[in-house]
Amino acid sequence: MLDLILILGIMLSTAGLVGAPFMHRPRPCREDDTSASLNADLLLQKDTLYTAIRDLEFDFQTGKVDQQDYAELRQHLEREAVHVLRLLDALDP
C-alpha cells in the first residue's frame, strides 16, 4: 500500500513538474533578443582577438616569432579588434 502511494506521488510530482510551464506565460529568454545574441558574438570575437594579440606578444618576447611576422600579424589583429570594438559601440552607443 505504501509502495502504491509512493508510486502515485512520484507520478503526480513528475506530471506537475513537466506540466508547470503550460500553466504560466513563459518568460522570454535573454538570448531571444537578436541584439543580445549579436552582442555576445561580438564579445566572443573581441575576447578571441585580445587573446590572439596577447599570445602573439608573448611568442614574440620568447623569441618564437620574427620581428617582421610579428609586426605584420599584430597590425592585422589590431585592425580586426578595432573593427569589432566599433561594431560593439554601434550596438550600444
Given the complex with another protein, which of 43 and 71 has the nearer CB atom? 43
Angular region, 63: left φ>0, alpha ψ -120 to 50, beta rest:
left
* Residue 34 contacts another protein per CB under 8 A: no
* Residue 14 contacts another protein per CB under 8 A: yes
How many beta carbons lie within 10 A of that of residue 17, not counting itself? 9
- Decide: 46 and 85 in contact? Cβ < 8 Å: yes
* Residue 87 contacts another protein per CB under 8 A: no
Largest CA distance in the chain: 82
Q: Which residues bind another protein (CB under 8 A)?
A: 3, 6-7, 10-11, 14, 17-22, 26, 28-32, 39-41, 43-44, 46-48, 50-55, 57-59, 61-66, 69, 73, 81, 85, 88, 92
